[in-house]
Chain A
Amino acid sequence: MEELIEIMEEINPDVDYASCTGLIEEGIWTSFDLVMLITEIREQFGVAIPAERIVPENFNSAEAIFALIKELEEDD
C-alpha cells in the first residue's frame, strides 16, 4: 500500500490519498494521471490492468486501487 501511495504522490502530491474516495468521480485525477498510474503499476508491481477494469469505482481511492492490484495478482 505504501509503495502505491508513493507512486500516486509522485503523480499528484496535492491529494490526501488516505482519505480521498472520489479521485475519478470528483475529477481530481485526469485520464492522463490514470494512465501514468497504470503504467507505473505494470512496471513496479508487474500487474497489467486490463482495459475493462479501468472504471471509476476501481480507481476512486488508494484502497480500491490496491484491492484491484491484489485481485489481479491472485488471478495470475
Chain B
Amino acid sequence: MAFVSYEFLAFLAVFVLVYYVLPGRFRWMVLLAGSLLFYLASGIRYIVFLLITCVSIFGLTLWMERIHLAGKEEMKNQGMKGEEKKAFRAKLKKRQKHVLQLGLFVNLGILAVVKYTNFAIWNVNQWLHFFGGEGEFGFVSWALPLGISYYTLQALGYLLDVYHGKYEAEKNPFRLLLFLSFFPQVVQGPVSRFDKLKETLFEEHAWFGQRICRGMERMLWGFFKKLVVADRVAPVVMAVGQNPEELGGIYVLAGMLAYTLQLYGDFTGGIDIAIGCGELFGVELPENFDRPFSAESLAEYWRRWHMSLMQWFREYVFYPLAGSKSVSRIRKLGERFFGKKAASRLPMYIASLITWFFTGIWHGASWNFVIWGMVNGVILLASQEAAPLYRRFHKAYAFSNTPVYHRFMTLRTLMMVSAVQMFEYYASPLTAIRMFGDLAFVWDIGRLFDGSAALLGITLADFAVLFLSVPLFCLVGAIQAKEDIRLWVERKSGLVRFLVWFGLFLAVLILGVYGQGYDKQNFIYNQF
C-alpha cells in the first residue's frame, strides 16, 4: 500500500478513528494491528522475515539481560571485590558478546541473503566471463521484504544498545514488534532509536485537535513535494538517465539537477508524510532533514540529509570501528611505515572508508552505490585534510565572511552533491564517468532551444511549475531556519492561513501528477 494512494488515505482515516475511540491503554495495540495490516498488504509471506527479526532480537536481548542480572547477583552473593570482580565482569561481557554476535549474524545474514544474493551472483558471473567461462548462474527472483533495510538497522541498534547497557530490554514482544513495524516509518524511515521512540509510541495519547491538524499540514506539504515536484520532474530524470549519450552536453547538467530535485522532493516529501502520519497518532518520529541544501560543505550536507541514517552509521559503525583494538593495531603497524604523525590519521581513514562502503551498499546492491559511497568518503577525508588551509583562507580574506561567499559555498555544495549522485543516477559507473566529461567541457546551451528539449518529456507548463517550486522551497527553508513553518502560518490571520493550506491542497489536487505513466508505487527510498 503506497503512501500516495487513496487506499492509504482511507486506511489512515479508519485507524485514526479507531485509535481515538478505543480506551488509551489499547491505543498502541491499534497501531500494531494497523502496522501489521499495512505490512501484510505488501505481501503475506514477507512478514516472516520481520517476525524472525523481532523474535530473534527479543529473545537475544532478554538473554543478554539475564546474563547481566544473574552475574550481578552472583557477584553480590559471593562478595567479589577488586580484581576478582573485574575478571568476572569481563567473563560476563564475553558471554553477552557471543549472544550479540549471534543476533548480528542472524539479522545481517537475512539482509545479506535477501538483498545481496543477486549482486553476488552478478559478480561471480562477471568473473566467470572474465576467465573465459561460458555458463552463468541464474538470478533469484524474490522481492525485497518491505522496509527490511530500515527495520534491520533499528533492530540492530536496539540489540547493540541493550548489549552496551544503555537501557533495559523490552519485556513485551508485541511492543518490540510495533517498534520495528510502525507503518509510517517502516517504508523509508526515519531510522528510530528504541529509547527515543518508545517515549511517544506506547503513550496513551488523548485526542488533540491542534496536533492532528499539524500532522495533516505536514502530510499535505509532503504530498506537494512528492506529487507536484518529484513526480513532475521524473520524466526529465528518466529521459536523460536512459539516453545520456544521445542527449549529452548541456542535458547532462539538466538531468543531474533534475535528479537532485526529484530525490529531494521524493525523499523529504515521503518523510514529511511519515512524520505527519506519526503526529496524527501523537507519535514523534525523529526529523530526518534539516534544510540539507543550505549546507556549505559536503560534511555539513551529511549532517543535514538523512540524519537518522547517518547518525546510525556514526554511532554503530564509525565510532566503534575507529576506537577498536584492530584499527589501533593497524595504526601501530602504520607508524613503522609512515611515521607517528601520519599514522595517527589511519584510524580516521580506515573507519571512514569502511563506513562509507557500508553506507553505499546499504543504499543499493550495485557497484554504483558502492562507488557513490566511496567517493563521498574520499571527498570528506580530503576536506578534513584541507581544513587547516580553509581556516587560514578564512582568516586572511574578509570576503569569506560575506553573504555572497556563503551563497557561493552553498551552491558549490549543491553542485558537488549532485555530481556525486551521478554514480547512482546512471545505469553504470562508466557512463557516469563519461558524463562527467560532458558536464565539464560541453556547454552547448543553444541545444536547449533547438527543439531537442522536447525529448525531456515535459511541457513548458510543467517546467514553469518546477521552476517556481525551487524559490518556494528556498522560502520555506528560510522560514524553517527560524521556526516550524506551521507555527509561523498559525500566527497569521485566518484568511492567510486558509489561503496557504487550501492553496496547497488545491495545488496537490490540480498540479499533482496522477495521469498516464505515473507509477504511484515508487518512492525512490522504498527500494533501499
CB pair B323–A48 under 8 Å, yes or no, is yes
Interface contacts (Cβ under 8 Å), in number, total: 62
Query: Closest CB-CB distance, A3 to chain B, in whole Å?
Result: 15
Interface of B is mostly: helix
Contacts of B345 in A (CB 8 A): 36
Complex Cα–Cα for A50 and B165 (A)? 12
CB pair A35–B164 under 8 Å, yes or no, is no
CB pair A30–B347 under 8 Å, yes or no, is no
CB pair B344–A39 under 8 Å, yes or no, is yes
Indicate which residue in B299, B320, B331 contacts A51 across the interface (CB closer than 8 Å): B320
Mark interface residues in B367-398 (1 if CB within 8 Å of A CB, else 0): 00000000000001100100100010000000
Is A43 positioned at the interface, with any CB of B under 8 Å from its CB?
yes
Is B68 positioned at the interface, with any CB of A under 8 Å from its CB?
no
CB pair B318–A35 under 8 Å, yes or no, is yes
Query: Closest CB-CB distance, B423 to chain A, in whole Å?
Result: 22
Is B84 positioned at the interface, with any CB of A under 8 Å from its CB?
no
Within 8 A of B (CB), among A10-50: 12, 14, 27, 30-32, 34-36, 38-40, 42-43, 48-50
Contacts of A43 in B (CB 8 A): 331, 344
Is B312 positioned at the interface, with any CB of A under 8 Å from its CB?
no
> Which of A27, A32, A34, A42 has its CB near the most chain B CB atoms (within 10 A)?
A32
Indicate which residue in A14, A32, A38 contacts B323 across the interface (CB closer than 8 Å): A38
CB pair A14–B391 under 8 Å, yes or no, is yes
Within 8 A of A (CB), among B321-343: 322-323, 325, 327-328, 331
Is B166 positioned at the interface, with any CB of A under 8 Å from its CB?
yes
CB pair B319–A32 under 8 Å, yes or no, is no
CB pair B323–A49 under 8 Å, yes or no, is yes
Is B348 positioned at the interface, with any CB of A under 8 Å from its CB?
yes
Indicate which residue in B299, B300, B325, B351 contacts A35 across the interface (CB closer than 8 Å): B351
Query: Closest CB-CB distance, A29 to chain B, in whole Å?
Result: 11
Number of chain B residues close to chain A: CB under 8 A:
30
Is A54 positioned at the interface, with any CB of B under 8 Å from its CB?
yes
Contacts of B331 in A (CB 8 A): 39, 43
Contacts of B327 in A (CB 8 A): 39
Known: A14-B391, A40-B344. A35 touches B322 (CB 8 A): yes
Chain B residues within 8 Å of A, Cβ to Cβ: 161, 164-166, 299-300, 303, 314-316, 318-320, 322-323, 325, 327-328, 331, 344-345, 347-348, 351-352, 380-381, 384, 387, 391
Chain A residues within 8 Å of B, Cβ to Cβ: 12, 14, 27, 30-32, 34-36, 38-40, 42-43, 48-52, 54
Contacts A/B (CB < 8 Å), 20 sampled: A27-B303, A30-B299, A32-B352, A34-B319, A35-B352, A36-B344, A36-B347, A36-B348, A38-B319, A39-B322, A39-B327, A42-B328, A50-B164, A50-B323, A51-B319, A51-B323, A52-B161, A52-B166, A54-B315, A54-B319
